[in-house]
Amino acid sequence: MTAVANGRQSSARGVGFGADTILGILLVSPILLTMTALVFYPMGRTIWDSLHRVNPMQAGTPFVGLDNYVRMFSDGQLGATWTNTLIYVVLAVAAETIFGVLAAALINQVKIGRRWILAAVILPWALPGVVNSVIWLWIYQPGAGLLNGILSAIGLPFENHVWFNDRASAIVAVTVVHVWRMMPLTIVIVLAAMQSIPSHLYEAARIDGATRGQMFGLITLPLVRSAIAVSMTNATVNAFNLFDEAWVLAGSSLETRPILVQIYLETFQNLRFSYGMALSVSITFVSLLVSLVYVLRVYRNTRFD
Amino acid sequence: MKTNFFTRLLLWTGLGLLLVWSLGPIYWTLASSVTPTEDFSTRPIHFYPQHFTFDHYARVLGISISRIGGVEVWKQFRAALFNSVVTSVAATVLCVAISALGAYAFTRLRFPGRQMLFGLVVATLAIPAYAVLIPLYQIMIKMHLVDTYVGVALIYVSAYLPLSLWLLRSVFEALPVSLEEAAQLDGAGRLFIFFNIVLPLAGPGLAAAGILTFLGAWGQYLVPLIFSPQVTKPLTVLIPEFVTKNFIDYGLITASGSIAIIIPALVVIFLNRYLVSGLLAGSVK
């Protein structure tokens, strides 16, 4: 201890070892306090309470073991919402990745005004999710909505089509809003990776007579693969967290209800607190697991190349 | 690079589509917000306003209300706008202040549990909000903080602190330590160095952390839906309430939506550079 203290420069002005330690603890104490009270403790509480029966309408909180988890398997509504969430995840991640990478490649080609194009593209992400959702609610509106307006303007019989009448189109409609909001993240991440590719690689390829398509497939894509994996992880977590779009566009409709809306309904309408917590624990687990799969796959792929 | 006409055409078509996709819905909101209600029922629809009116804005903001009449929403709307600004600004200031102090301690000072605490805090980035929401609700009820500015702002701080801390630590780590050492030799104390040397240099990083926190807090829905149901209700909770089962007042929705998107839009347009750097730092967690 003293050796360390002597080794460092200590002075009377409070720069020494002891002073640094005290100051350090002082400076991080707000973080420690906030995170303990509002994140760490509630997190432990979620796991602990998910093993009990917690319901404000019933007295006592008896220990029920894994009952809350076992109940999930016989919960028909839950099965439907899990299916919906998985469909959202697959559709959203695929659309955001494919169109996001294409969009990033397009923006990467632009030399002038790229800053402004990027600002325009990021804008949907920065807006409140519910406001995006009411905007699209208006676009999807059967009578005077923009979507049906465009479709009938080009001669298709969609004037009074109701997009939320059947499950498939309702789910796609919710996904489109989510993709509109989240794709900018993919574009920003992938574009940054594309801009860090040294230009001499492209020059060498051009001298060898490669076409644009070949350059994209053989230079750009392999070099932005880890950025794509990062953006896919983000996209997955965000799609698992889908709430605002489904809630505003279709309310509690079971056909489009994602798992998060189910948690909200079970907890704050049916007041089954501990069941809601068990659901939260399991979806956290699944979303972490899926993200982990991407990360591992990318690492293995890059190693074997 | 030599580009033929066809490639250039493809490029510009693609960019055009991308811009229409990104800005189209926003244009349509702004256009609808200045369209008189009667015009919403014309068929086929027009893609730009045929008549121009500020009535919807007058209704939500409560300007010359006697002329318009109808549903009185302006009191609620003004309160919600005020609440949104107060909670987001408070959360941003508090979050950036706390995380800047902490990030400096985590980069330059040695104290027991340093690595572990940092690791724990940053690890919560991977934990979705709803994993803590229900116990948080019980805590807030017990402490009488439901529907108060303090309660909601504190939840936002705890939600965006890990990202902000992660971002600021990488910013501080990139600053040259020699400057601080020179100041130390001149007899400057740690806090003097922090406020007069480190903070001014870390300006862009602080801006990025602040922007991410502000946009996140401004757009929150699930948290205020549970924690600010009445008095502190923000815009994001109020606007969907205009959508009722039987009647949807699209003028009201598009006008209030336009107001809610002005601030984030200004941030994106003028502070885009910081925002992008923050997004990149945050995504590579």
* CATH number for A251: 1.10.3720.10
For range B138-144, the mean pLDDT: 89
A62 domain-assigned: no
Task: Let me know whether A9 and A156 are in one domain.
Answer: no
Q: Which of residues 40-69 of A touch B (CB under 8 A)?
A: 40-43, 45-46, 49
Question: Structurally, how many domains does chain B consist of?
Answer: 1
Q: Which residues is B243 bridged to in the sheet?
A: B248
Whether A150 maps to a domain, the answer reads yes
**A171 pLDDT above the threshold of 90:** yes
Residue B238 lies in a domain: yes
Say whether A253 sits in a helix, a strand or coil: coil
Answer yes or no: are the C-beta atoms of A243 and A264 closer than 8 Å. Answer: yes
Containing H/E element for A216? none
User: How confident is the model over A5-51, as pLDDT tens digits?
Assistant: 443 444 444 445 577 788 888 888 999 999 998 889 998 988 888 88
| A189 plus A277 within the same structural domain | yes
* Greater pLDDT, B284 or B25: B25
- Give the residue from B7, B10, B11, B18 with the most A CB atoms within 10 Å of its CB, the best one to mutate: B18
Q: Which residue range is the domain that position B129 belongs to?
A: 75-283
ipTM over 0.95: no
Range with the largest mean pLDDT of A13-27, B41-55, B82-96? B82-96
Which has the higher per-residue pLDDT, B277 or B132?
Answer: B132
For residue A64, being part of any structural domain is answered with: no
Which residue bears the tokens 């629809």? B45
pLDDT at B285 over 60: no
Q: Do A134 and B243 touch (CB under 8 A)?
A: yes
Number of structural domains in chain A:
2
B253 is a domain residue: yes
Task: Summarize the confidence of residues A133-143 as an average pLDDT.
Answer: 87
- Shared domain for A127 and A178, answered yes or no, is yes
Contact B88, B217 (CB under 8 A): yes
CB atoms within 10 A of CB A80: 15
Per-residue pLDDT at A181: 93
Please check whether residue A289 touches B, CB under 8 A: no
Decide if B188 and A13 are in contact by the 8 Å CB cutoff.
yes
**Preceding omega of B44 cis (within 30 degrees of 0):** yes
Confidence check: pLDDT of A94 > 90: yes
> Considering only alpha carbons, which residue of chain B is nearest residue A113?
B15
CATH code, domain carrying B262:
1.10.3720.10
C-beta pairs of B1-9 under 8 Å, 24+ apart in sequence: B1/A202, B1/A206, B7/A212
Q: Residue B66 domain-assigned?
A: no
Residues B279 and B167 sit within 8 Å (Cβ to Cβ)? no
Residue A45 and residue A74 in one domain: no
Is A57 a domain residue? no
Give the minimum alpha-carbon distance from A85 to chain B in angstroms, rounded to a whole number. Answer: 15
Is the Cβ–Cβ distance between A104 and B209 less than 8 Å? Answer: no
Does A285 reach chain B within 8 Å, measured CB to CB?
no
One domain for residues A100 and A239 = yes
Taking only Cα atoms into account, the Rg of chain B, rounded to an integer number of angstroms, comes to: 24
pLDDT at A122 over 50: yes
Q: Indicate whether A94 and A156 sit together in one domain.
A: yes
Residue A54 belongs to a domain: no
The answer to whether A160 contacts chain B (CB < 8 Å) is no
CB of A33 within 8 Å of any CB in chain B?
Answer: no
Neighbours of A151 (CB within 10 A): 15
State the average pLDDT for chain B: 85
Q: Which residue of A has its CA nearest to B165?
A: A31
pLDDT at B280 over 90: no
What average pLDDT score do residues B27-43 get?
Answer: 82
Phi-psi region of A174 (alpha: psi -120 to 50; beta: other; left: phi over 0): alpha
For residues A44 and A91, state if they share a domain: no
**Do A149 and A286 sit in the same domain of this protein?**
yes
Nearest CB neighbour to A212, from listed B7, B117, B254? B7
Q: What is residue B114's predicted lDDT score, i.e. its pLDDT?
A: 86
Average pLDDT for chain A: 84
When mean pLDDT is compared across A7-21, A96-110, A252-266, the lowest value belongs to A7-21
- Range from A154-168, B85-99, B212-226 carrying the lowest mean pLDDT: A154-168
Same domain, A36 and A155: no
pLDDT band for A4, please (50, 70, 90 cuts).
very low
| pLDDT for position A9 | 43
Domain span holding position A13: 2-49
Q: Give the tens place of pLDDT for each residue, A190-221.
A: 988 888 888 888 888 888 888 888 888 888 88
Calculate the dihedral angle through the C-alpha atoms of A58, A62, A64, A67, rounding to the nearest 10 degrees: 10
Mean predicted confidence (pLDDT) in B165-183: 86
Q: A118 contacts in B (CB within 8 Å)?
A: 272, 276
Contact A234 B109 (CB under 8 A): no
Option in A43, A143, A149 nearest B132 (CB): A43
Q: What percent of chain A is modeled with pLDDT above 70?
A: 91
How far apart are alpha carbons B99 and B86 in whole angstroms?
20
CA dist list (Å): A286 to A16, B119, B128, B172: 47, 22, 11, 35
Rounded to a whole number, what is the distance in angstroms from the first to the last CA of chain B? Answer: 36
A251 occurs within a structural domain:
yes
Specify if A63 maps to a domain: no
Neighbour-count burial for A163-195, b at 16+ CB within 10 Å, e otherwise: bbeeeeebbebbbbbbbbbbbbbbbbbbbbbbe
Helix (H, G, I), strand (E, B) or coil at A52: strand
By Cβ distance, the residue of B25, B135, B235 closest to A42 is B135
Residue B27, C-beta contacts closer than 8 angstroms, at least 6 positions apart? none
Burial B15-29 (b: 16+ CB within 10 A, else e): beebeebbeebbebb
Is 50 exceeded by the pLDDT of residue A139?
A: yes
Angle at A217 between CA A215 and CA A223, to 5 degrees: 90
Of A228, A263, A275, A253, give the one whose Cα is nearest residue A51: A275
Question: Does one domain contain both A132 and A263?
Answer: yes
Residue at B38 is within a domain? no
Does residue A85 share a domain with residue A155?
yes
Does residue B153 fall inside a structural domain?
A: yes
Find where tokens 């601080």 sit: B180
Q: What is the pLDDT of residues B146-160, one digit of tens each?
A: 889 999 999 999 999
Same domain as A286, residue A208: yes
Residue A98 pLDDT greater than 70, yes or no: yes
A134 touches chain B (CB under 8 A): yes
- What integer pLDDT is reported at residue A201 of this predicted model? 86
Residue B40, judged by CB atoms within 10 A of its CB (0-12, 13-18, 19+), counts as: middle
C-alpha distance from A2 to closest chain B C-alpha (Å): 15
Identify whether A59 is part of a domain.
no
Give the model's confidence band at A270: pLDDT under 50 very low, under 70 low, under 90 confident, else very high.
confident
- B158–A185: do the CB atoms touch at under 8 Å? no
Q: Is A106 on the interface with B (CB under 8 A)?
A: yes
